[in-house]
Chain A
């Protein structure tokens, strides 16, 4: 029975990683950059929901909406201000800028909220589900997993069935050719950042609900793990990010349950190294021939 509850805990944790990993992988696919500030968007989302919930009368949906809107605006602005001017310059310059944006967001949060961890509001009173004698599943886990699955289905539909989705695929494969089709490349990149940031806000919400405390560095570890998940699944691949995120969460939680809590992160990263040794492009990554 404890295996099943560990598994469900892992699926729920993995859902959070998958939501963040989707943002990483979509932005990588379209803008060909690793947005290392992506994890900190989660933190901004969590703090916005925290602030809105405590000051706007406590309607949880208004608070979540505030978190979503703030993250979307922040994500799109970051791209316009920090990354767009560097388009076409060396990937290293963009990477360093992204790390700079990450530190900037953390420092701003540190200035506003201080370094002590804040309790995340209990937005919903979810009762745990009891199955049989000793299997108890946290309500938050079920909600996290359920909402994530719905979001994933939505993203797959958006990418594969809509015009903007096709434009995103076209831009990710060949910006110039997409432009020759009349696709507005800048707008497509902005939309991608907006979607990724909205997913990060949702991840921030679930992170807060799961761990109950948030701080200025809340986003960095989930951010790194979600990056690992995206690489694990094959960076640039959307189903890869979903599978990679969920697998990573399950591996982490089962390691915590059966091997060692202290070693669980180590095991997660060891699995990544193993996968990359065997399949360097990740689980679902495509091999892309370098064009000369």
Chain B
């Protein structure tokens, strides 16, 4: 059974139909890429999964539970972490406070300390700067913090929205390496990216989203060699 299933999702922004009909599924342990142009509905899809937006119709099921009937603040504790577009770390709080907020739904202090230690292990920079105000971090460090903050909830699945946005090519590669590592450690990943080439290179399967509909789907390797995808998203 799939971990996350989205069926015939429809989402409106006022009168604008942002998502017309989107269905896909994410299995345990996979990296799934959702690629598409600006405005195709990728971010809207993620926001609807985590309850920041209300769907007009359709079904979202996670681990057998209907997410559309779950209050937004309970969704995190079910095991879904969302690294939003633009990172949205708490700029005025310290690095440490940001990480602690990531563990907001957890209560065992020892387990939280363990997660913190493993985050600091993976990102020594964050440990060095733990008392620094997060807004003063560089773009790359902020992306690391956003991912670490999400990891602090010990998620089963991580939704990542444009993690490469605004980063230098070197950092982009680093971010994708980290995503792969997180996945190898057992976390399922749903990745939204405009950088289709990078996304397809680490994903198991992918879906192409065009103006609110899924137009193409399949193993990432196949899409990487699909003429249509090459022309529209890989710039070849």
Task: Give the contact-size bracket for chain A.
Answer: 10 to 19
Task: Give the contact-size bracket for chain B.
Answer: 20 to 34
A176 touching B52 by the CB < 8 A rule? Answer: yes
Instruction: Enumerate A157-202 residues with CB–CB distance to B below 8 Å.
Output: 163, 166-167, 169-170, 173-174, 176-185
Q: Which of A163, A170, A182, A286 is in CB contact (< 8 Å) with B90?
A: A170
Minimum CB–CB distance for B50 against chain A, Å? 6
Q: What's the Cα separation between A182 and B82 when bound, in Å?
A: 10
**Residues on A with beta carbons closer than 8 Å to the beta carbon of B81:** 180
Q: What's the Cα separation between A75 and B74 when bound, in Å?
A: 26
Q: What's the Cα separation between A216 and B89 when bound, in Å?
A: 45
A166-B100, A184-B73, A185-B73 are contacts. A179–B90 as well, Cβ < 8 Å? Answer: no
**Residues on A with beta carbons closer than 8 Å to the beta carbon of B104:** 163, 167, 181-183
A166-B97, A166-B101, A170-B101 are contacts. A177–B88 as well, Cβ < 8 Å? Answer: yes
A169 touching B100 by the CB < 8 A rule? Answer: no
Q: What's the Cα separation between A173 and B89 when bound, in Å?
A: 9
A177 touching B73 by the CB < 8 A rule? Answer: no
Q: What's the Cα separation between A180 and B101 when bound, in Å?
A: 10
Q: What's the Cα separation between A169 and B76 when bound, in Å?
A: 19
B72-114 vs A: 1/0 string, CB under 8 Å?
1111110001101000111111000100111011000000000
A169 touching B92 by the CB < 8 A rule? Answer: yes
Minimum CB–CB distance for B203 against chain A, Å? 23
> Quick check: is B140 within 8 A (CB to CB) of the other chain?
no
Minimum CB–CB distance for A163 against chain B, Å? 7
Nearest opposing residue in chain A for B71, CB measure: A184
B19-58 vs A: 1/0 string, CB under 8 Å?
0000000000000000000000000000000111000000
A179 touching B93 by the CB < 8 A rule? Answer: no
A179, A181, A184, A185, most chain B CB atoms within 10 A: A181
Nearest opposing residue in chain A for B152, CB measure: A181
> Quick check: is B142 within 8 A (CB to CB) of the other chain?
no
B100 touching A286 by the CB < 8 A rule? Answer: no
B88 touching A182 by the CB < 8 A rule? Answer: no
Q: What's the Cα separation between A140 and B89 when bound, in Å?
A: 46
**Residues on B with beta carbons closer than 8 Å to the beta carbon of A179:** 50-52, 72-73
A256-292 vs B: 1/0 string, CB under 8 Å?
0000000000000000000000000000001000000
A182 touching B93 by the CB < 8 A rule? Answer: no
Nearest opposing residue in chain A for B81, CB measure: A180
Q: What's the Cα separation between A196 and B18 when bound, in Å?
A: 39
A166-B97, A176-B84 are contacts. A182–B76 as well, Cβ < 8 Å? Answer: yes
Q: What's the Cα separation between A165 and B3 when bound, in Å?
A: 34
Q: What's the Cα separation between A286 and B135 when bound, in Å?
A: 13
A163-B104, A170-B101, A177-B84 are contacts. A182–B91 as well, Cβ < 8 Å? Answer: no
**Chain A binding site: helix, strand, loop or mixed by DSSP?**
helix
A173 touching B105 by the CB < 8 A rule? Answer: no
Q: What's the Cα separation between A184 and B104 when bound, in Å?
A: 10
B73 touching A173 by the CB < 8 A rule? Answer: no
> Quick check: is B153 within 8 A (CB to CB) of the other chain?
yes
Nearest opposing residue in chain A for B87, CB measure: A177
Nearest opposing residue in chain B for A176, CB measure: B52
B102 touching A181 by the CB < 8 A rule? Answer: yes
Minimum CB–CB distance for A285 against chain B, Å? 13
Instruction: Enumerate A107-161 residues with CB–CB distance to B below 8 Å.
Output: none
B52 touching A182 by the CB < 8 A rule? Answer: no
A35-56 vs B: 1/0 string, CB under 8 Å?
0000000000000000000000
**Residues on B with beta carbons closer than 8 Å to the beta carbon of A174:** 88, 90
A180 touching B93 by the CB < 8 A rule? Answer: no
Q: Which of A173, A180, A183, A286 is in CB contact (< 8 Å) with B84?
A: A180
**Residues on B with beta carbons closer than 8 Å to the beta carbon of A180:** 50, 52, 76, 81-82, 84, 88
**Residues on A with beta carbons closer than 8 Å to the beta carbon of B102:** 181
Q: What's the Cα separation between A282 and B77 when bound, in Å?
A: 39
B76, B101, B102, B105, most chain A CB atoms within 10 A: B101
Q: What's the Cα separation between A177 and B86 when bound, in Å?
A: 11
B84 touching A182 by the CB < 8 A rule? Answer: no
Minimum CB–CB distance for A251 against chain B, Å? 29
In the complex, besides A181-B149, A182-B73, 19 extra interface pairs with C-beta distance below 8 angstroms are A166-B93, A166-B97, A167-B101, A169-B90, A170-B90, A173-B90, A174-B88, A174-B90, A176-B52, A176-B84, A177-B84, A179-B51, A180-B82, A180-B84, A181-B104, A181-B153, A182-B74, A182-B75, A182-B76
The 9 A-B pairs at the shortest CB distance, nearest first, are namely A182-B76, A182-B105, A177-B88, A184-B73, A181-B104, A181-B101, A182-B104, A180-B82, A173-B90
Q: Which residues of B contact A (CB under 8 A)?
A: 50-52, 71-77, 81-82, 84, 88-93, 97, 100-102, 104-105, 149, 153
Can you offer 12 A-B residue contacts whose CB atoms are under 8 A?
A166-B101, A174-B88, A176-B88, A177-B84, A181-B76, A181-B102, A181-B104, A182-B73, A182-B153, A184-B71, A185-B72, A185-B73
